[in-house]
Amino acid sequence: MAHVKAGGTAKNLRDSNPKYLGLKKGNGQKVQAGQIIVRQRGTKFRAGENTKVGKDHTIFATSEGVVKFSSIRHKRFDGKTVNRKLVSVINE
């Protein structure tokens, strides 16, 4: 006789680790060169002045300054005009 009741197999007990995406610095915050401003999937935010995009679409500062979020109007190839979010670092 078994001393412990037989357990069934559990298939859905695994979960992936959180990816910690989103804004890391807000508008008006000071940043140093190399600090991450936005972690994102795809280019929801575009890199502006004094920022660059990493291979996983992370936007980071290339110089010391203050973060500024803005919006630009962009005309697509089919003639539609869309707004794009832009992240810049302004030197002070």
- At residue 2, does pLDDT exceed 70? no
Residue with tokens 């630009």: 72
- At residue 12, does pLDDT exceed 70? yes
- Dihedral sign, Cα of residue 84, residue 87, residue 92, residue 30: positive
**Rounded distance, CA 86 to CA 92, Å?**
19
Is residue 56 situated within a structural domain?
yes
Is residue 38 situated within a structural domain?
yes
Report, as an integer, the average pLDDT of 30-40: 97
Is residue 3 situated within a structural domain?
no
The two tokens of residue 24 are: 């890391």
pLDDT, residue 90, reads 97
- At residue 77, does pLDDT exceed 70? yes
The two tokens of residue 46 are: 């575009």
Q: What share of the chain in percent tops pLDDT 70?
A: 96
CATH classification of the domain holding 65: 2.40.50.100
Is residue 5 situated within a structural domain?
no
State the residue range of the domain holding 47.
22-90
**Rounded distance, CA 29 to CA 54, Å?**
21
Report, as an integer, the average pLDDT of 18-40: 97
Is residue 28 situated within a structural domain?
yes
Domain count for the chain: 1
The kind and range of the H/E element at 53 are strand 51-53
